[in-house]
Structure 1
Amino acid sequence: MAYLKVKLVKSPIGYPKKQREVLRGMGLTRLNKEVLLKDTPSIRGMIRKVSHLVEVREEDA
């Protein structure tokens, strides 16, 4: 199963509430926090919505 390591690299302050909710849904609550998420179409869609705020790396598990 492929995983994605997602890191919040830019503050969501000043961005729309919907984007902040997407980050919270992925578990990204603080700057520089990293989470390991399964590589699914829904997660890819969430990442696409906030791609300007996060950094993504592929991980094998």
Structure 2
Amino acid sequence: MTDLTSALLQRAARDYLDALTEDELAAHIAAGTDEGDDHRLDDIAGEHGMPLSHTTTTTED
């Protein structure tokens, strides 16, 4: 992935998160935490046409 593509994806994700109300953001965080789903941000971004799976990393405990 190019630096420009990465920067654009990060900006789109930031803009999306900035547009959420406090309650919506709390619900997204709670859903990811309660389910233990490391890919919840991928799901959220994918719902809005911004799949992030190729840019995120996860660690196994």
Bucket of the pairwise TM-score, normalised by the shorter protein: under 0.3
Q: Which structure features the higher share of strand residues?
A: 1
Give the alignment's TM-score, normalised by structure 2. 0.28
Give the alignment's TM-score, normalised by structure 1. 0.28
Q: Which structure features the higher share of helix residues?
A: 2
